[in-house]
Amino acid sequence: MSAADRDKWNQKYHGKQPLVEIKPDDWLRECVDQIASEVGTSDEVGQSIPLKAVEFACGLGANSIWLAQHGWDITAMDVSAVGLERAKQTAHQVGAEVNWIAADVEEVSLANQQFELAVVFRFLDRERLPQLIDSVIRPGGWLIYETFSTAQLERTDSHIHNADFTLREDELPLLYPQFDVLSHKQCVLPDRTVMRFHARKK
């Protein structure tokens, strides 16, 4: 990502305030509920073992903070240091522990780290992100992804006008062939049209 893009996102978040209410994306809640029903999170002596998750392009941090509140050991990254500062303030206000990283996916290093879950919302990187996610998710781990579909371009309220920033109907399974698809669908929501993808690493 260029310095101009980084400046654009910093400017976008400059006028934002910390979140008043933690409202995670519906698709995240739905998929995490499914994961919770599948796995146990206690060791042999009954102690809670937090699963590790990473969110890319976390913005103001609602999804990551919600995950932290629900027992996940969460690392959240975004290119905007300004957005992350707002996210940190929100996390502090609600007592949530999140490992925040100000970095672009093209430059971030997660060497020697492994996670059970990767989360991506409203972000699309076809070059670096699939390789990065494959390298940090353990076999059996999950990917929860939602971003704009090409059908978003047909909406009169769309702020996106470049097809390069949208997903074709069959694209996510092709970008992430190392994951078995659990759910993959297009959803028309009140404010956007998206592709939703939930998959588990082989």
Mean pLDDT score, 168-185: 97
Provide the pLDDT confidence category of residue 7 given band limits of 50, 70 and 90. Answer: low
Residue 72 in domain: yes
Report yes or no on 122 lying in a domain. yes
Is the residue at 41 inside a domain?
A: no
Q: What pLDDT is recorded for position 17? A: 76
pTM, whole model, 2 decimals?
0.91
Whether 173 is in a domain gets the answer yes
Domain that holds residue 119: 3-12+26-33+48-201
Residue 107 resides in a domain:
yes
45 versus 25: which is more confidently predicted?
25
Edge-to-edge order in the sheet of strand 179-188: 98-102, 73-78, 52-56, 115-121, 137-148, 193-201, 179-188
* Over residues 107-134, mean pLDDT: 93
Is residue 161 situated within a structural domain?
yes
Q: What CATH number should be reported for the domain holding residue 183? A: 3.40.50.150
pLDDT in tens, 129-140: 999 999 999 999
Structural domain includes residue 17? no
Report the alpha-carbon angle 24-157-61, nearest 5.
20
Domain count, the chain: 1
Examine residue 84 and state whether it is found in any structural domain, yes or no: yes
